Amino acid sequence: MSPILLAVLLLAGLGLFAGLILAIASVLMAVPVDERVEAVREALPGANCGACGYSGCAGYANAMVNEDAPVGLCSPGGNEVAEATGKLLGKSGNVVRQTAVVRCGGCEEFTARKLDYHGIPSCRAATQFFGGNWLCNYGCLGYGDCAVACEYGAITIKDGLAHIDSTLCRGCTKCTAACPKKLIVMNDGNVRGVVRCSNRDKGAQTRKACKVGCIGCGKCQRTCEHDAIHVVNNVAVIDEEKCIGCGKCAEACPVKCIDIFN
Amino acid sequence: MNNTSVFAILIGGLLVNNFVLSQFLGICPFLGVSKKLNSAVGMSLAVICVMVMSTAVTYPLYMHVLVPNDLAYLQTIVFILIIAALVQLVEIILRRFIPPLYNALGIYLPLITTNCAVLGVTILNIDSGYTFGQSLVNAVGAGLGFLLAMVMFAGVRERLESAEIPESLKGLPITLVAASIVSVSFLGFQGLFGL
């Protein structure tokens, strides 16, 4: 027999033999897949974004069926998915639609420049280079890593600042992971306002860096009648539970960095 | 090398010629799965299992099928085929009997298929002229070495989590630096037993 034929036959034979053993093993040790898990997974959007807090759509489907996870966690899928999965499992639940908000208001006009970055136009790269263009080390860099990450086209960069269109945002949290400055936070329907600044430097320093940065003066804290806003680490933070959205803090704020949603 | 004692082979695979830290084989799971101690141990056990099983299959196959037919040059491709099939088998068995480990290993389990440490141990067994028994011992030693490296490095990485790392070194860079330092420490075993 020619050596080539022998080699081919040997390899083919080995492959066939291995395949046969695997086929037998997979039949003998088949794991019964819960049909409900499969059906629920089909009903989910399949984006595997992880907004629900599980490892992906399959993980969430499994948790819903076997660990009694609530049905309303799929924010991108919205109420339709919650209904569909709820019907399959005999549960009901509504989605608390989350939207992303940017905790920075420092567009080019307001923020002081410390260097002129000409490297790779991405926030992640710019962060590595002395924290990017701006004197403020906490603010939005404006290269749009979040916009690239967003699959729904909800984020636009205007004047060096990311803007999120809350009608397009589906709450998948991909942008929160993409932002190297961790400026984007999720915000469920109950939140009435956001402080558009994340600068934890002392007031004087913040003032030098950005005209709309929170200087931690505490005026909002004193104005608030519901004890719902506090200065923590030199930046004001709204307490979602207590805030009623009256907007008095926004009026009182000397730098106007508080944004109250209607 | 044929008379090397079992103990020397074991220590050789475990410390002196540690697959990950001295021969730089199997780096992918070493960096990928070493974040948590639990999954590191699970992964290493799966690797040991696959190493021993694939040695047990490939050695006789090489000696009794490939060599008599002058097909020794098919070594690499045949071994890869065998290893791939064995990994699939381990995967099926794990999914059936130890689902938590199966879930924890995730994508890294199929990746053992192309783990060069496994292919490395089967080929090195033959290149070193070991007997069947010695080959099995070497496979166990190499697997234990992998386990040792993984467990040690998982510890290092858990410390790194809470360490204050310069901004530009965070993440993978500091992991690679730490890996090289751990690897340098294994140089200390060089020359032990004349291996």
Inter-chain touch A31–B85, beta carbons under 8 Å: no
CA–CA distances in Å: residue A215 to residues A103, A135, A189, A243, B71 = 14, 15, 27, 21, 77
State how far residue A32 is from chain B, nearest Cα, in angstroms.
9
Closest approach of A17 to chain B, Cα-based (Å): 10
Contact A10 B82 (CB under 8 A): no
- CATH code of the domain in which A133 resides: 3.30.70.20
* ipTM exceeding the 0.90 mark: no
Looking at residue A93, its pLDDT comes to 66
pLDDT digits (tens, 9 = 90+) for A197-241: 998 888 888 888 888 999 989 899 899 888 889 998 889 988 888
Same domain, A118 and A151: yes
Is A230 strand, coil or helix?
A: strand
User: Quick check: is A17 in a domain?
Assistant: no
The residue among A187, A211, A235 that closes a domain is A187
Question: Which residues of chain B make contact with A14, given a CB cutoff of 8 A?
Answer: 78, 81-82
Q: Are residues A81 and A129 in the same domain?
A: no
Looking at the structure, tell me whether residues A183 and A246 fall in a common domain. Answer: no
Query: Residue A22 domain-assigned?
Result: no
Residues A246 and A203 in one domain: yes
Same domain for A179 and A200? no
On whether residue A1 sits in a domain, the answer given is no
d(CA A129, CA A133): 9
Q: Which residues in chain B touch residue A18, judged by CB atoms under 8 angstroms apart?
A: 81-82, 84-85
Residue ending a domain, among A148, A165, A187, is: A187
Q: How many Å apart are CA A226 and CA B95, to the nearest integer? A: 54
State the residue range of the domain holding B171.
Answer: 6-186
Closest residue in chain B to residue A13, using alpha carbons only? B78
Residue B177 placed within a domain = yes
Alpha carbon of B6: minimum distance to chain A alpha carbons (Å): 31
A163 and A241, same domain (yes or no) = no
DSSP line for A91-102:
-------EEEEE
Res B56: pLDDT: 92
- Is A199 in the same domain as A120? no
Same domain, yes or no: A127 and A76? no
A14:B89 CB<8 A = no
Q: Tell me what pLDDT residue A12 has.
A: 92
Residue B121 in any domain: the answer is yes
What is the SS3 assignment for A237? strand
Name the most confidently modeled range: A25-34, A114-123, B101-110: A114-123
What are the chain A neighbours of B88 within 8 Å (beta carbons)? Answer: 22
Does B2 touch chain A if contact means CB atoms closer than 8 Å? no
Query: At residue A30, what are phi and psi to the nearest 5 degrees?
Result: -60, 135
Q: A84 and A52: one domain?
A: yes
> Quick check: is B98 in a domain?
yes
Q: Is residue A3 in a domain?
A: no
A31 CB neighbours in chain B (<8 A) are 95-96, 99
Residues A178 and A203 in one domain: no
Residue A117 lies in a domain: yes
CATH number at residue A52: 1.10.15
Indicate whether B121 pLDDT > 70: yes
Please list every residue in chain A whose beta carbon sits closer than 8 Å to the beta carbon of residue B85. 18-19, 21-22
- Please count the structural domains in chain A: 3
Q: What is the pLDDT of residue A95?
A: 67
Among candidates A7, A22, A30 on the partner chain, residue whose Cβ is nearest the Cβ of B71: A7
Which of A143, A171, A187 is at the close of a domain? A187
Cα gap A182→A175, rounded to integer Å? 9
Q: Which of A10, A22, A30 lies closest to B88 in CB terms?
A: A22
* Domain ranges, residue A117: 99-187
Do strands A193-195 and A161-164 pair parallel, antiparallel, or not at all (unpaired)?
A: unpaired
3-state secondary structure A109-176: CCECECCCCCCCCCHHHHHHCCCCCECCCCCCCCCCHHHHHCCCCCEEEECCEEEECCCCCCCCCHHH
Please give the mean pLDDT across all residues of chain A. Answer: 84
User: Are A163 and A111 in the same domain?
Assistant: yes
- Nearest CA of chain A to the CA of B113: how many Å? 14
What are B130-185's pLDDT values in tens digits? 889 889 999 999 999 999 998 989 888 888 888 888 888 888 889 899 999 988 88
Residue B192, in any domain of the structure: no
**Domain identity same for A138 and A174:** yes
**Overall domain count for chain B:** 1
Residue A4 lies in a domain: no
